[in-house]
Amino acid sequence: RAAADRHRPAFHFTAPAGWLNDPNGLTQRDGEYHLFYQFNPHAPVHDRIHWGHAVSTDLVNWRDLPIALAPSEGPDVDGCWSGVLVYDGDTPTIVYSGRHGDRELPCVAIGTPDLVEWTKLDVNPVIPSAPPGVDITAFRDHCVWREGSIWRQLIGSGIRGKGGTAFLYESPNLRDWTYIGPLLVGDGAAGEPSAPDWTGTMWECVDMFRIGDDGSAHRDVLVFSAWDDGVTHHPLYWTGRYESDRFTPTALHRLDLGGRYFYAPQSMRDESGRRLLFGWLQEGRPNSAAVAAGWSGVMSLPRVVTPAPDGSLHQSPAPEVDALRAEQLVTDSHVLSGDPVHIVSGDELDLEMLLTIPDGGSVTIVLRASDDDEERTTLHLTRQGDHAELSLDRTRSSLDAEVDASSRAGRVPVDDDGSVAIRILVDHSALEIFAGGVPLTTRIYPTREDALGVRLSGEGVRARVCAWAMRPTAREAVDVDGAAA
Ligand code: FRU
C-alpha cells in the first residue's frame, strides 16, 4: 500500500480507479448479488457518469465486471445517472436518469441474463419531460416496483417555493408512463438548511419499501437524500403509510447521523427476504487530494434494516461482514474509571462493545489515535435515561488542515439496564459506527503512521470489548474498459 494510498479502504468496496458515487441497480439473482454504481472510470471527479458493475456471492468480496452503461449520443450523452434494476418477467431492465446538458430524463436499458451487456431503448427518454405546469428544482433518480400487473415508479424532484417531492407514475410495460401526482411534498423551502433533519429543496434517490411482517408491526418507509442547489445535505426517511397514491407520514428520521457521509442510499430485498442498504461514503478531503490519489468515493458495507421498537429503523452491518474477521485480538471486560484504557491498535478493525452507562454518566471512545494523542478521533456518549447523546469530534482527526473537521451529534437508544451495543468498523479513511442500531458514518484522514490506537474512558462504566483484525477483501478485476488500476 503506497503512502499516498494510506486512506484507501481495504475491506470496503471502491471503484477500480476513478470516481464512485451512488449505489445503483441492487439485485440478487440465483444467489449472486449485483452492485452497480455511479462511476467515472477516467478520473476521480464527477463527470460523464457511467454505471460500474460488480458481483458477489457473499456481499463482501466483489468481482469487477465490465461497465454496464456508458454515456452515448442521445438523451444520456452527458451521463447515465442513478437508477434501479427490475425484472420484467425474465428480462432485466434498468431504469435510470439520462443526462443531457443540465436536463435529466428517465431512460430504459435491457440486459442479457448475466446482466453484463445492456441495450438502451430507441424510444429513450421514456418520459419526455417533467410534469407540465409544475415549477421544479430537478427531476431524477428512480424507485420502480410492481403492483399486480402494473408498474409504478417514483422520480425525485422538488417544487419551487415548497420543498422536495417524489412524483408517482404508472405503466403497463416500463415504457409508457402516466403521471399520477406527487406522493408527498416536503416543506424544505420554509425550513432551516443547517438543521440535521432539513428536508431540502429536492429529494435525490427516493427509495420506498415496506418493512416488518404484514401484521401491526409493518411500516412503509420513504428514504431520500436532501439536496439543495448543488449541495448534498443528508439522507432522511419518513415512516408512515403508502396507500391510495399517497404517502401519509408518521415521523421523519435521520438515516445516518454522519449526514452527507452516508449519502444517496439504495435498498434491496434479497432472496432471503432481508432489506439490505448500501450508501455512498463521499470524501471529506479536497478534490485535489482525490485526484492525486487517483480514486474517490467508498461504498458502505451492506447493512440490514429491520423495524426498531420505537417505530424507526434499526441498522446493523450484514452478518456476512463477520466473515472478514481474520483474527480476534481482544476479548476483555473493564470497569472504566479515570485514565483511558488502551484496547487495541489498527486501521483495519472490527470492534464490538457493550457499554453499561449509569444515568447521567458518559463514555469516550478514541479511534485512530497517535501515541501522543496529537491525532485522534473522539466519540462521546452521554446517557440521559432511555437514550444517549452520541457525538463525533473530528477536530483532531487529521493534521491536514484541508480535510473536513466538522462535528456530528444525535440521539441513540439505551436499553433498560443502561447498556448500548456499539459496533465500529475502522477501514483506513472509512469509519462506520453503529450505536443501538443507529449509524454514524464518516471519513477521517489521519496523517501520522502511529494514528492507530483505540482507547476507552469513563466513570463507573462497564465495558465488554471484542476486537478483530479484518482481512482485506479479495478482488478479482476484469478489464472494465481501460479503467483497471
Ligand atoms: C446523488 C446524485 C443523484 C444523481 C447522481 C449523479 O448523489 O446526485 O441524484 O442521479 O448522483 O451521479
pLDDT at 485 over 80: no
pLDDT given at position 338: 87
Assigned superfamily of 18-319: Glycosyl hydrolase domain; family 43 (2.115.10.20)
Cell numbers for 190 = 420554509
Indicate the class that CATH gives domain 324-470: mainly beta
Q: Whose CA is nearest to atom 9 of ligand 1?
A: 204
* pLDDT band at residue 474 using 50, 70 and 90 as cut-offs: confident
CA 140 / ligand 1 centre spacing (Å)? 8
CA 411 / ligand 1 centre spacing (Å)? 28
DSSP for residue 49: B
Q: Whose CA is nearest to atom 1 of ligand 1?
A: 264
How far is residue 19's CA from residue 294's CA, in Å, rounded to a whole number? 8
Cell numbers for 234 = 443528508
Q: Helix count (H) and strand count (E) of the chain?
A: 1, 34
82 CA: nearest ligand 1 atom: 10
Residue of 47, 204, 281 to mutate, ligand 1, most atoms within 8 A of C-beta = 204
pLDDT at 482 over 60: no
pLDDT given at position 484: 39
Q: Whose CA is nearest to atom 12 of ligand 1?
A: 81
How far is residue 443's CA from residue 426's CA, in Å, rounded to a whole number? 10
pLDDT given at position 5: 87
Q: Whose CA is nearest to atom 6 of ligand 1?
A: 81
CA 225 / ligand 1 centre spacing (Å)? 10
CA 228 / ligand 1 centre spacing (Å)? 12
205 CA: nearest ligand 1 atom: 9
CA 323 / ligand 1 centre spacing (Å)? 31
**Residue (of 265, 324, 315, 293) closest to 35 by Cα position:** 265
Which DSSP string do the residues of 342-382 spell out, in sequence order? EEEE-SEEEEEEEEE--TT-EEEEEEEE-TTSSS-EEEEEE
Tell me the average pLDDT across 234-257. 97
Please tell me whether the overall predicted TM-score, pTM, comes out greater than 0.80 for this model. yes
Look at strands 295-296 and 18-29 and give their pairing. Answer: parallel
How far is residue 423's CA from residue 298's CA, in Å, rounded to a whole number? 19
Share of the chain above pLDDT 70, in %: 96
CA 297 / ligand 1 centre spacing (Å)? 13
141 CA: nearest ligand 1 atom: 10
Domain ranges of the chain: 18-319, 324-470
Residue of 76, 141, 231 to mutate, ligand 1, most atoms within 8 A of C-beta = 141
DSSP for residue 1: -
Kindly provide the residue ranges of all beta strands, DSSP E only, lying in 212-358, ordered along the sequence.
Answer: 219-228, 231-243, 246-254, 263-269, 275-281, 295-296, 298-299, 303-307, 313-317, 325-337, 341-345, 348-356
Look at strands 32-40 and 18-29 and give their pairing. Answer: antiparallel
DSSP for residue 131: P
How far is residue 124's CA from residue 108's CA, in Å, rounded to a whole number? 7
CA 81 / ligand 1 centre spacing (Å)? 6
**What digits encode the pLDDT tens for the residues 157-207?**
999 999 999 999 999 999 999 999 999 999 999 999 999 999 999 999 999
What phi and psi, each to the nearest 5 degrees, are found at residue 303? -115, 145
Share of the chain above pLDDT 90, in %: 95
49 CA: nearest ligand 1 atom: 12
CA 106 / ligand 1 centre spacing (Å)? 13
CA 16 / ligand 1 centre spacing (Å)? 20
22 CA: nearest ligand 1 atom: 7
* pLDDT band at residue 215 using 50, 70 and 90 as cut-offs: low
Instruction: List residues near ligand 1 (CB under 6 A).
Output: 21-22, 38, 49, 81-82, 97, 140-141, 204-205, 263-264
User: How far apart, in Å, are the Cα atoms of 314 and each of 32, 135, 256, 311?
Assistant: 25, 36, 11, 9
